């Protein structure tokens, strides 16, 4: 048995040599795994098109539109993308069922853009065992960046920890020495954020006067706000889901109290959080962003925004362009297209992961200027930069530099 | 001490939410002797109707009135179509019916109005009430409406023919029928009123918790706790129970070490169990004697 590998290696070496001699990329051997052929690349996807999180269905639709446009323009290196997108209604057991169907029956090359932390957690082990790439997940959990244990899984969104870290950097710079109160949801989502900001504050974490958690099942969070106010903080930080974010902003507004307020990007939507909370209550609130906001007039003449709008006009005329989910799906699909181009004719699953871990300063149309996608074999977090923004007169205004949320940089 | 007073005030404000819901629960319990698990969802749906009417340009109070009428009719229709045929079925069948109704209403609301939160207006404004930093004018208005509703219900059951007939139909159906009361329609009327009270609760709650299909999930459990604590047969008790649960929850969450926030919801559930074991009639309920 010991001879076989060396034989394989020498063959490979010879082949490489031959290639080097002939010097032509065109002569490169075409290599395929299941799901890729000369004419087609099969991509599997799972998004909640029904159920409580069905609003995120737009993510899948926007991805489909990008791939459709690529196909209409001739595909990637002559191959059409066959984008198979299923519904899991945001239910992990259903996601497992659908991913098995994708891998075993549809025989996709890879899965891409599966949405939600619970669903991705449910299918992660299966995909890693099968060695099928689980690429660019629509979730901000920090755990997707774990190439050592899950070499076939790679996230996409900036992680909640990175974002928490960025707020720490902002506070250290602009509000040093102020007393900080943090409200967070008592689950992985809230705790990721909490860890990020505490790591970022370092020894200044002692400025945190209260860390208050709430449960998703609570009807209102008034009691927590009261408890936090009793500590007289100068800064209120909300690591909450949209409903509770809006409640917190409104309650603090009603108390006629004006602390510095920071709200997680998840709850920073103008239409679904700031407006319900009341623009007068949201005035001056700080958050961070990585993508362009379609409702922001400053991108009116931006090439990326024009491309986004022309895509929606042609392929998704019914979609609300200011729905940030459309922008997310658009950006993710563009990242996937760039990756597949990088893979060339070697469409093996191993090469796809290798190329995915080798993205350098990739700029995507819908990302904020200066935010670049970077990965390496030890860094499976494609986006880790954000820019701070302030809510002013009914819309978000970016300010400051693009900040990296990596703890080590 | 300041924190204590503040938490009590915040508890009263939150308690008003539970009290509103508890009233609707007591109403349906009076009429059918069961708890309706779909009560919260019916209230949520009614609130969406009010919201939709306002989106179409109907002024607040007209939308309010129209919603009450629609909810009342909706409650009666649900009873006639779904639960009248189940009247003689075992309790479990009814419970299954309630849960099915819960899921259906929730999903339909999501389908029509989607799951993003919506702002709901309040006629009372939301500035601080009488200089108090903790109770807003809306919450004060809500407490006022709850108390007014309570008095109206009391008068209705005490002094009107139809109210007396409803009580008779629930307490002694046999005798009630003998004196010419149409007990079947009294049950339907109970459903209609419970549904309308639920609509008022929803409309009052929505400005605080924001309107979305899942807004009543937690509220209903606390409403149950309030109703059980106060006594499922007593409107006054249920309102009192609502305020007590609100205050109790805040104080325990703030002062009992180790309980913290993780156990806030279990506290409401523990309260239900303890009351049912120690004093099944609740604080103000009366014992229902049934002849076997």
Task: Please state at what angle helix B137-159 crosses helix B161-171, rounded to 10 degrees.
Answer: 80
Mean pLDDT, chain B, integer: 86
Which chain B residue shows the shortest CA-CA distance from A243? B117
- CATH number of domain containing A305: 3.40.50.2300
pLDDT at A322 over 90: no
> Which H or E run includes B111?
helix B91-113
Check residue A4 and give its pLDDT. 46
Residues A181 and A154 in one domain: no
Residues A134 and A212 in one domain: no
Sign of CA dihedral A277, A280, A286, A291: positive
pLDDT class of A70 with cuts at 50, 70, 90: very high
pLDDT at A293 over 70: yes
Check residue A114 and give its pLDDT. 96
Q: What is the per-residue pLDDT across A55-67, written as a single tens digit (0 to 9) for each?
A: 788 999 999 999 9
Please answer whether residues A167 and A288 qualify as being in contact, where contact means their C-beta atoms are separated by less than 8 angstroms.
yes
Residues A49 and A137 in one domain: yes
Residues A152 and A170 in one domain: no
Return the higher-pLDDT residue of A103 and A294.
A103
pLDDT class of A294 with cuts at 50, 70, 90: confident
Check residue B291 and give its pLDDT. 53
Residues A132 and A265 in one domain: no
pLDDT class of A3 with cuts at 50, 70, 90: very low
Query: Domain for residue A409, yes or no?
Result: no
Which chain A residue shows the shortest CA-CA distance from B205? A219
Number of separate domains in chain A:
3
Mean pLDDT, chain A, integer: 89
Mean pLDDT over residues B158-168, rounded? Answer: 87
Q: What is the per-residue pLDDT across A9-32, written as a single tens digit (0 to 9) for each?
A: 444 444 444 444 444 444 457 889
Please answer whether residues A213 and B4 qualify as being in contact, where contact means their C-beta atoms are separated by less than 8 angstroms.
no
Residues A17 and A116 in one domain: no
Q: Where are the domains of chain B?
A: 2-127+135-216
Query: Domain for residue A206, yes or no?
Result: yes
Residues A188 and A315 in one domain: no
Residues A12 and A105 in one domain: no
Please answer whether residues A262 and A237 qualify as being in contact, where contact means their C-beta atoms are separated by less than 8 angstroms.
yes
CB contact under 8 Å between A254 and B11, yes or no, is no
Check residue A62 and give its pLDDT. 95
Return the higher-pLDDT residue of B171 and B177.
B177
Q: What is the per-residue pLDDT across A149-170, written as a single tens digit (0 to 9) for each?
A: 999 999 999 999 999 999 999 9
Please answer whether residues B235 and B197 qualify as being in contact, where contact means their C-beta atoms are separated by less than 8 angstroms.
no
Please tell me which of the candidates A51, A219, A226 has its beta carbon nearest to residue B6.
A226
Please tell me which of the candidates B114, B119, B249 has its beta carbon nearest to residue A276.
B119
Check residue B258 and give its pLDDT. 65
Query: Domain for residue A146, yes or no?
Result: yes
Query: Domain for residue A383, yes or no?
Result: no
Residues A71 and A176 in one domain: no
Chain center to CA of A155: 7
Q: Determine which of A48, A224, A226 to mutate to test the interface with B (most B C-beta atoms within 10 Å).
A: A226
Query: Domain for residue A294, yes or no?
Result: no
Mean pLDDT over residues B284-290, rounded? Answer: 63
Q: Which DSSP category does A382 fall into?
A: S
Check residue B233 and give its pLDDT. 82
Query: Domain for residue A295, yes or no?
Result: no
Please answer whether residues B18 and B242 qualify as being in contact, where contact means their C-beta atoms are separated by less than 8 angstroms.
yes
Mean pLDDT over residues B236-245, rounded? Answer: 91
Query: Domain for residue A118, yes or no?
Result: yes
Residues A151 and A169 in one domain: no
Segments forming the whole domain that contains residue A3 = 1-26
Q: What is the per-residue pLDDT across A332-345, written as a single tens digit (0 to 9) for each?
A: 999 999 999 999 99
Mean pLDDT over residues B13-31, rounded? Answer: 87
Residues A153 and A166 in one domain: no
pLDDT class of A51 with cuts at 50, 70, 90: confident
Mean pLDDT over residues B194-206, rounded? Answer: 92
Q: What is the per-residue pLDDT across A371-394, written as a single tens digit (0 to 9) for each?
A: 999 999 999 999 999 999 999 988
Contact with chain A for residue B115, Cβ under 8 A: yes
Please tell me which of the candidates B117, B119, B126 has its beta carbon nearest to residue A242.
B117
Residues of B in Cβ contact (< 8 Å) with A220: 14, 17, 208-209
Query: Domain for residue A42, yes or no?
Result: yes
Q: What is the per-residue pLDDT across B97-154, written as a single tens digit (0 to 9) for each?
A: 888 999 899 889 988 887 778 889 888 877 777 666 667 888 889 899 999 999 998 8
pLDDT class of B2 with cuts at 50, 70, 90: confident
């Amino acid at each position: 048995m010991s001879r076989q590998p060396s034989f394989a290696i020498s063959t490979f070496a010879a082949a490489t040599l031959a290639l080097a001699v002939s010097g032509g990329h065109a002569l490169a051997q075409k290599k395929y795994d299941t799901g890729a052929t000369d004419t087609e690349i099969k991509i599997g996807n799972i998004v909640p098109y029904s159920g409580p999180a069905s609003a995120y269905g737009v993510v899948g639709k926007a991805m489909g539109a990008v791939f459709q446009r690529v196909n209409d323009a001739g595909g990637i290196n002559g191959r059409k993308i066959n984008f198979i997108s299923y519904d899991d209604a945001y239910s992990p057991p259903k996601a497992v069922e659908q991913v098995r169907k994708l891998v075993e029956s549809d025989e996709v090359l890879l899965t891409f853009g599966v949405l939600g932390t619970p669903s991705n957690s449910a299918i992660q082990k299966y995909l890693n065992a099968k060695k099928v790439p689980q690429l660019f997940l629509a979730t901000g959990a920090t755990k997707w960046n774990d190439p050592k244990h899950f070499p076939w899984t790679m996230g996409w969104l900036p992680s909640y920890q990175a974002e928490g870290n960025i707020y720490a950097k902002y506070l250290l710079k602009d509000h040093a020495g102020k007393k900080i109160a943090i409200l967070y949801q008592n689950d992985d989502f809230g705790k990721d954020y909490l860890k990020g900001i505490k790591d970022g504050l370092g020894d200044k974490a002692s400025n945190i006067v209260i860390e208050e958690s709430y449960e998703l099942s609570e009807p209102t969070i008034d009691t927590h706000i009261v408890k936090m106010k009793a500590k007289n903080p100068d800064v209120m930080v909300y690591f909450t889901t949209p409903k509770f974010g809006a409640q917190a902003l409104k309650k603090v507004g009603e108390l006629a109290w004006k602390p510095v307020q920071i709200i997680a990007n998840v709850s920073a939507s103008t239409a679904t959080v700031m407006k319900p909370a009341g623009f007068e209550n949201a005035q001056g609130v700080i958050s961070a962003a990585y993508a362009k906001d379609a409702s922001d007039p400053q991108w009116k003449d931006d090439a990326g925004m024009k491309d986004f709008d022309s895509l929606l006009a042609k392929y998704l005329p019914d979609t609300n362009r200011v729905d940030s989910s459309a922008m997310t799906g658009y950006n993710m699909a563009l990242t996937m297209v760039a990756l597949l181009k990088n893979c060339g004719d070697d469409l093996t699953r191993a090469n796809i992961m290798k190329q995915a871990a080798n993205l350098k300063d990739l700029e995507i149309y819908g990302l904020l200027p200066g935010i670049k996608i970077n990965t390496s074999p030890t860094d499976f977090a494609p986006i880790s930069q954000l820019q701070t923004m302030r809510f002013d007169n009914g819309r978000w205004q970016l300010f400051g530099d693009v900040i990296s949320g990596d703890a080590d940089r | 001490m300041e924190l204590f007073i503040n938490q009590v005030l915040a508890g009263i404000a939150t308690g008003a939410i539970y009290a509103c819901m508890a009233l609707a629960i007591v109403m349906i319990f009076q009429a059918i002797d069961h708890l309706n698990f779909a009560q919260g969802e019916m209230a949520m749906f009614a609130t969406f109707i009010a919201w939709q009417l306002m989106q179409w340009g109907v002024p607040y109070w007209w939308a309010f009135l129209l919603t009450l009428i629609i909810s009342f009719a909706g409650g009666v229709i649900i009873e006639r179509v779904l639960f009248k045929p189940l009247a003689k079925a075992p309790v479990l069948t009814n419970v299954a019916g309630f849960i099915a109704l819960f899921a259906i209403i929730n999903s339909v609301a999501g389908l029509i109005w989607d799951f993003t939160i919506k702002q709901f207006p309040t006629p009372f404004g939301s500035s601080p009430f009488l200089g108090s930093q903790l109770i807003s004018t809306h919450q004060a208005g809500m407490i006022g409406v709850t108390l007014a509703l309570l008095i109206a219900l009391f008068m209705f059951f005490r002094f009107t023919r139809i109210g007396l007939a409803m009580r008779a139909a629930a307490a002694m159906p046999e005798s009630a029928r003998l004196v010419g009361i149409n007990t079947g329609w009294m049950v339907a009327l109970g459903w209609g009123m419970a549904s309308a009270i639920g609509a008022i609760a929803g409309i009052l709650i929505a400005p605080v918790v924001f309107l979305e299909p899942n807004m009543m999930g937690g509220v209903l459990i606390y409403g149950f706790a309030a109703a059980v604590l106060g006594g499922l047969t007593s409107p006054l008790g249920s309102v009192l129970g609502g305020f007590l649960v609100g205050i109790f929850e805040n104080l325990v969450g703030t002062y009992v070490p180790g309980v913290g926030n993780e156990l806030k919801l279990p506290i409401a559930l523990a309260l239900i169990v303890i009351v049912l074991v120690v004093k099944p009639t609740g604080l103000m309920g009366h014992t229902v004697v049934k002849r076997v």
